[in-house]
Structures are given as C-alpha cells and as structure tokens.
C-alpha cells in the first residue's frame, strides 16, 4: 500500500517548497566553515539591540502560552497604519496568512490567479486546497496587469500580487495597482503581498487603498527588513469581516510569545529600517557594479535580492558556488533556468559571492 493512495489527490500533486540550503548542512557536507548564505532574503544586519533585549525579556515567560489574540502587537500595527485592530490578522510568518486566505475563501471549483515567476507559495497553497491555478504571462519578468485582467472569470476568487515580487524583484507603482484593483469585481479578493515593501519607494501608500476596496488584503512580514525571519511573524490588513474569517481558521496560538514581543518593539524602530534600507541600497550597488565587471546583468529589483542572468545553467552555477562556500538560490523551479537569485548581504559577503562567481563564469 502507498500512503499516496490514501492522501487527497490535490496533496499528492504538491511540489514541495524548497527552502534555501542551511549553513550547517553545507558545513557538514563540505567540512568547511566560513560559509556565506545569500539565499533566503534575510536582513544581514540581524535584529536591532532593542529587539534582542525584548526577546531576552520575553524568554523568561515561555512557560506560558502566548497571547492568542496578539493584542498588543495588533494595537501597535493598527496605530502605525491608522486602522482598527479588527482589521489585523497575525500569522506564523506571512506565509501562514497567505494560506489562511486561500483556505478561508477558495473552493476546489474556483480559480486562483497569479503571475508567471510569482512567489512559489501561491501555486503551493492553491494546489493544497485543490483549486485551479490561472497563471498570467509575465511582462519583463514582472506582473502584466493587463494580461491578468483579461484572464479574470466568474470563477476567479483570489488574485495574488507580490509587490515587489520574489524572485524577480519587479515592482508596480501603487497607481497602476489601484487601476487594476478598481476594475476587479468585489467578489474577487486581491492579495497584495508586500513582504519587501520596506526596501522599495518611500512614497508607497497602498494601505490607504484598504478603505476604498473592501476586497483588498495587504500582507506584510517581520521576516525581511525587520530581521526576524527565524521567529516567524507576519500579518494581513483587511476589511474587518475578512479578518474575522481568517481569525476563525487560524490556530489559536499561531504566533509565539518571543515573536510577538520582538515584533512589537521592531515596529517602533524606524531608524533601524532606514539603516537597513541604506545598507541594502549600498549592497545592491556593490553587486550590480561587480556583476557588470563580469559582463553579467540582473533583473532590476526593488527587494533585498537580485536575480542574475548567468547566461548558462543556473543550477550548475548554484552547485559550483556551493563548493566555494557560497549559498545562493537557483530559480529553475520558477522557469528561470539561466538565472540565480542572490540576497544582498554584508559587504564582505557580497564580495565573496562576486569573487566566487568570477571564478565560475
């Protein structure tokens, strides 16, 4: 007997998410230390001292369950964005809320739309609920909103848009997004996934669209610019009724107490976000300049990563970089066989990557 015969058909068809290779795993395999990991779009600066202190303080109380409502973090988020607390849904990372949205709203007879080259979790959650994925062809590696509009049908229940997108880093101005959302029927939910929003333009005000478009859901995370990927905390901002429904199906304690404490303090740390963005901009310039010397280019990115056209098999380049102790991300699973994605790291890490790549190409 195979357990696959017992499992739901939609589950057996899932292509598992492949995370970036852990440093410890490569250390074991190669027997070397001093490995550089630029594979999961984390903040290389780490959390701020204030946040580390909050985590240490909260760790004294881990014998208790966390606040199942995440009350104080919701209050802090609502104040920051001038919303009500009943518009906030907390998740174990924003992945969690992306999945909750699909589970709460989409039936197997309905469709979920996203773009070619869009974030890997969208096909995954769509497949997990047995719904049909409708994939709109990309334009210049980014979302083609025109193409997406033409694919909307009466069955389209959910549209995922990552802005900036991972792995391509492409970005859509908010006015273009608004024009798109304005012509989507109210019965179709639009999820604007802004995991990398802190790295982009400073004039972004997508939050104000929530008051105009009740079918809009914005998701954000503490995993990227806030430097808390290991703690797993993200959130959705939405119409209160949507938040109420998402809260009904989330696990009662889906965000742990260290994450709640850290996120609340991180949210007040504006200087840290400014420093993070400046650091990212400098690292991006360093990488682009170094790539140009190697005769290579990258897809223009508004995130904390770039996707480089290596002009040859990206999986092979990834494997050769591994042997040199540098972990990046191959993106052939996204339909980009000649690219690799590189997260922007510390200056010496970026240089290690450039030197290693220079030996290969």
Ligand X SMILES: Cc1ncc(COP(=O)(O)O)c(C=O)c1O
| Residues in touch with ligand X (CB under 6 A) | 41, 93-95, 119, 162, 166, 193, 195, 221, 223, 229, 234
Counting runs of H as helices and runs of E as strands, what totals does the chain give? 15, 13
Pairing assessment for the beta strands 132-136 and 234-237 based on DSSP bridges: unpaired
CB of 87 to ligand X, least distance (A): 18
Query: Closest approach of Cβ 314 to ligand X, in Å?
Result: 18
Q: Interior CA angle at 326 toward 359 and 348, to 5°?
A: 85
Tell me which DSSP letter residue 1 carries.
Answer: -
Identify which of residues 119 and 171 has a Cβ nearer to ligand X in the complex: 119
- Cβ at position 243, least distance to ligand X in Å: 17
Cα 210–Cα 211–Cα 212 angle in degrees, nearest 5: 90
- Exposure letters 229-264 (e unless 16+ CB within 10 A, then b): bebbbbbbbbbeebbebbbeebeeebbbbbbbbbbb
Q: Which is nearer to ligand X, 160 or 356 (CB)?
A: 160
Q: Report in angstroms how near the CB of residue 297 gets to ligand X at its nearest.
A: 22
Q: How far is the CB of 298 from ligand X (least distance, A)?
A: 17
Nearer to ligand X, 42 or 110 (CB): 42
CB neighbour burial string for 167-197, b if at least 16 within 10 angstroms, e if fewer: bbbbbbebeebeebbeebeeebbbbbbbbbb
- What is the rounded CA–CA span in Å between residue 91 and residue 158? 19
Sheet strands (E) in the chain:
36-37, 88-91, 111-115, 132-136, 156-162, 189-193, 216-221, 234-237, 297-299, 305-309, 326-327, 329-330, 339-343
| Min CB(323)–ligand X separation in Å | 25
Nearer to ligand X, 162 or 237 (CB): 162
Q: Which of 88, 141, 179 is nearest to 331 (CA)?
A: 141
Rank residues 197 and 210 by Cβ distance to ligand X and give the closer one: 197
Among residues 122 and 272, whose Cβ is nearest to ligand X? Answer: 122
Q: Which is nearer to ligand X, 195 or 336 (CB)?
A: 195
Least CB distance from residue 34 to ligand X, whole Å? 25
> Of the two residues 229 and 324, which places its CB atom closer to ligand X in the complex?
229
Listed in sequence order, the residues at least 6 apart from 313 whose beta carbon sits closer than 8 Å to its beta carbon are 337, 338
d(CA 119, CA 41): 13
3-state SS class at 360: helix
Tokens read off for 22: 């852990």
In the chain, the N- to C-terminal Cα span, in Å, equals 48
Query: Cβ 115 to ligand X, closest distance in Å?
Result: 12
Which CB atom, from 100 or from 356, has the smaller least distance to ligand X? 100
Beta-bridge mates of residue 339? 309
Residue nearest to ligand X (CB): 93
Closest approach, Cβ 109 to ligand X, in A, equals 26
């Amino acid at each position: 007997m195979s357990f696959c015969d017992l499992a739901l058909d939609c589950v057996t068809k899932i292509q598992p998410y492949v995370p970036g290779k852990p440093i410890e795993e490569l250390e074991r395999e190669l027997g070397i230390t001093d490995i550089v990991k630029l594979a999961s779009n984390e903040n290389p600066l780490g959390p701020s001292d204030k946040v580390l202190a909050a985590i240490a303080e909260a760790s004294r109380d881990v014998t208790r369950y966390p606040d199942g409502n995440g009350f104080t973090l919701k209050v802090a988020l609502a104040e920051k964005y001038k919303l009500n607390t009943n518009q906030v849904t907390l998740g174990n990372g924003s992945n969690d809320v992306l999945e909750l949205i699909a589970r709460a709203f989409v039936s197997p007879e309905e469709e979920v739309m996203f773009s070619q080259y869009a974030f890997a979790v969208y096909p995954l959650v769509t497949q997990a609920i047995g719904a049909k994925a409708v994939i709109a062809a990309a334009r210049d590696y980014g979302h083609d909103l025109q193409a997406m509009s033409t694919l909307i049908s009466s069955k389209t229940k959910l549209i995922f848009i990552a802005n900036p997108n991972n792995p391509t880093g492409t970005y859509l101005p908010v006015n273009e997004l608004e024009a798109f959302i304005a012509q989507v029927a109210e019965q179709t939910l639009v999820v604007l996934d802004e995991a990398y929003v802190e790295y982009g333009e400073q004039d972004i005000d997508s939050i104000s669209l929530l008051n105009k478009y009740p079918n809009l859901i914005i998701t954000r995370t503490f995993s990227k610019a806030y430097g808390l990927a290991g703690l797993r905390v993200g959130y959705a901002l939405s119409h209160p009724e949507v938040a109420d429904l998402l809260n009904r199906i989330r696990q009662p304690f889906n965000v742990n107490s260290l994450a709640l404490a850290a996120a609340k303090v991180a949210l007040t740390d504006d200087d840290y976000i400014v420093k993070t963005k400046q650091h990212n901009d400098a690292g991006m310039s360093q990488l682009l300049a170094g790539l140009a010397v190697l005769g290579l280019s990258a897809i223009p990115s508004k995130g904390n990563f770039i996707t480089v056209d290596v002009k040859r098999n990206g999986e092979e380049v990834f494997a050769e970089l591994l042997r040199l102790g540098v972990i990046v991300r191959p993106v052939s699973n996204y339909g980009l066989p000649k690219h690799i994605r590189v997260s922007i790291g510390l200056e010496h890490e970026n240089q290690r990557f450039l030197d290693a790549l220079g030996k290969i190409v």
